[in-house]
Chains A and B, each alone.
Chain A
Amino acid sequence: MICGRDRIIKIATVFLFLCLGQISYAEQQWPRDPDYLFYKASRHYEAAQYNEAIAEYSLLLKQGLESGPLYYNLGNCYFKKGELGRAILNYERARRIIPSDGDLEANYKYAASLTQGTSPGDAAPWHQQILERLLGGLSLNGLIILLSMIYASSMLIFIARIYFKGLRRYSMTAIAILIALFISGSLSLYGRISAIGKEAIAITDQAEIKLEPFDRAPIHLTLYEGTKIRILRSKGNWVKISTADKKVGWIKASTIEVI
């Protein structure tokens, strides 16, 4: 009888410790919970505490996480703080994930309209702009899934051609259309993937673009905050860039941030 009671007490003690451990673990994890951090940051934003909101949102980024709304909200915070360059930078990052979001597009265009340089939307070449008009509503992953579906559909039609001879007359048209879509999508995909890590936004106002990568080199152009540029190569603290109107020069790496 006593042994049985002892066993119950032991089990209860172990259970209690496990519960306490769980509670303690949950308490430790709670401040790192992404939804909680996001909620906390949003409350800071509503209270016009933009620095605090940015700090909370950045904690999520430090955890290696990202999402369209997260970058969008960060963009809003920087905009409200008066940092137009970083606002556009975060809107650009959000556009890679949620390009069809109406609110994002409105805020992005509004922020872009306040920049003094070339509008970020004009940076792409004409053929890329056409493709962007067709496929711009899709995120990078969305585009990959679309291409995968086009490819799978083509294969299905090819398979159907084997077994249903009646389809052969019409299937070539469908396959031709699908191949054209696939090629267009692939070009767009190639453009987007090749832009990763090579596009940047000026985050300081009136940064000097120089002809050569050193301080005393002559100034070539002025880069306004929020302007989108393409990185060609880097050398030490300097980055060789190309502007939307194909002008090339060197700029300090600290004045831009990669999208």
Chain B
Amino acid sequence: MAGRKNLKVEWVGHRGLLTGLLCIIMMVLAFPAPSFPENIRPPSRSDATPHPLREKVFLAMEAERTNVHLHEIVPVTIRLFSRGMNLKDIQYPRLSHESFSVQEFEHPVEKRETINGIVYETVEFKTNLFAKKTGDFRLGPARLRCAVWIGKGERDRPPPGDHDAVDSYFGASENVSLDLESEQILFKVSPFPQEGKPAGFEGAVGNFSFTAEVHPKEVRLGEPIALRMRIQGKGNFHTVTSPRIEKGMDFKTYEPQTSEQAGLKIYEQVLIPRSDAVKEVPPIRFIFYDPERAEYRTLYEGPFPIKVTRPDGEKERKIGSVPGPIGRDLITIKESPGRLRKKGDFLYKNKTFLLFQLLPLLLFVSLLFFNRQRERLRTDVKYAMRLEARKGAKRGMKELERVLEKENPIDFYNSLFKILQGYLGNRFCLSSGSITGAVAEEALKPKGIDGEVLKKLGEIFNACDQVRYAASTFGKKEMEETFNRTKEVIRYLENQPL
């Protein structure tokens, strides 16, 4: 990253804290260009005020070329010019580069250069960059911070704007922090030409050579072969990807291991033959775009003949479906942590999951019971009638309670009579319409019903008959007694195993 390293960082103050703070002054200097070569001249600003310092120290940036292709490496040089100045604390330049990827600066080189007969001392910072997208983009300005001792001669001349006060404060010489700024460079970034673009081109740009070798050339089935591929040359190694094996799925492959040095990238790929019928590692190709020749180039290596033998006594097996021993090195790490969960979070400890397991069983038991009940109701008439008797009695007694509230004896006893007829008919499989007190007693006596209950039942029927046929009047109290007696009789009959 440009501008991150400091050449030297030190405290520049020399007259106590106040003086020191005042000495660290940002001076953004803009220079009118006297007469410099096209690409080496101080930056200019129309509103700049001339200052002697501006002719003595400035920053210039130049690129080897400005019409470039996407991802093409472009050397850029930033030079700090100074004349008769004692520069200190020179930091690495910082570069505005939104559309570019800029590599780290090389170690700066100090030189002397003569321009228009004037000898300058220069500090040269070199880096490489490449454009990340196509279009017209401005690089820079480059900014550089350094410090300078300004002698009395310079101090006496008024610097621009805000620095007047500072200069007038000091008596002899002062240590001033300078922020220098170069001009911008306009780049025209072209896309890769579509014409002649080979399939499989992955964006490598430069001028490379490609070699590959396999080792060992004789393996037993299941053992790995190391394919070592070397890409060497000048260009953008960031966009160089592993060369592709030309064809075939005869090998189980693993993610290649990459190592990189200056001007060299090495890929080591593990290949495991899937069968002993494999006779060679197919050709491997590496495609790149050569900006100097302005053409795509495809380099091939291989095929590499190999010999795969099957271990004694082993039948044919597929490598890949069942992972086998890889041999000499590990398969590399996983890039994603996968689904992280709490330690020991097993489903058999999860109460919700375990409770959920009861659902199918409950569903089955419920449906089984429901179905059996339905079948019994369909086939067992006595059972169905008995159930109906219970339901009907329950429903009828509720209705009767409402009638009781109205204190109308005729309605009450009529309803009661109907309820008793319905209940006894269903409960004992009798014809409901023909049931009277006498009929009920006659039907229930042989079933071993308690005589007291039969007596109560007879009294209820008698009361009904008296109101319905003899127009007897009963008050609420009598009706309540009859109601309670009826409830007792029904409760008793319901509890009998008949």
Contact = CB atoms under 8 A, between A and B. Distances in A.
A243 B333 CA distance: 31
Given A66-B340, A77-B333, 5 more contacts: A69-B334, A103-B331, A110-B326, A140-B347, A144-B346
Interface stretch (B69-77, B124-132, B180-188, B359-367): B359-367
Given A42-B333, A72-B334, A162-B368, A34 B323 contact: no
A138 to B, nearest CB: 12
A193 B340 CA distance: 21
Nearest to B334: A69
A99 to B, nearest CB: 12
B330 A80 contact: yes
Contacts of A249: none
A59 B327 CA distance: 31
Nearest to A157: B364
B225 to A, nearest CB: 15
Given A105-B323, A140-B346, A141-B347, A73 B334 contact: yes
B325 A106 contact: yes
B342 interface: yes
Contacts of B35: none
Interface string A70-88: 1011001101100000000
Nearest to A45: B333
Contacts, number: 98
A155 B363 contact: yes
B46 interface: no
B347 A67 contact: no
B340 A162 contact: no
B352 interface: no
B6 to A, nearest CB: 24
Interface in A88-116: 98, 102-103, 105-107, 109-110, 113
A79 B331 CA distance: 11
Nearest to B370: A162
Given A106-B323, A110-B326, A151-B357, A66 B341 contact: yes
B292 interface: no
B325 A110 contact: yes
Interface residues of B, number: 31
Interface string B270-313: 00000000000000000000000000000000000000000000
Given A106-B325, A151-B357, A162-B367, A67 B337 contact: yes
A144 B363 CA distance: 21
Interface SS majority for chain A = helix
B371 interface: yes
B327 A34 contact: no
B343 A66 contact: yes
A51 B364 CA distance: 56
Contacts of B342: 64-66
B406 interface: no
A70 B337 contact: yes
B360 A103 contact: no
13 contacts: A35-B337, A60-B340, A67-B340, A73-B333, A102-B323, A110-B327, A110-B330, A140-B347, A141-B347, A145-B347, A148-B353, A155-B363, A156-B360
B343 A61 contact: yes
B37 to A, nearest CB: 44
A106 B340 contact: no
Interface string A129-167: 000000000001100110010011001101100110000
Contacts of B198: none
Contacts of B333: 42, 45, 69, 72-73, 76-77
A68 B371 CA distance: 48
A38 interface: yes
Contacts of A79: 330
A68 B338 CA distance: 7
Most buried by A among B330, B332, B336: B330
Contacts of A61: 343
Contact of B335 (A42, A60, A64, A67): A42
Given A144-B347, A156-B360, A113 B337 contact: no
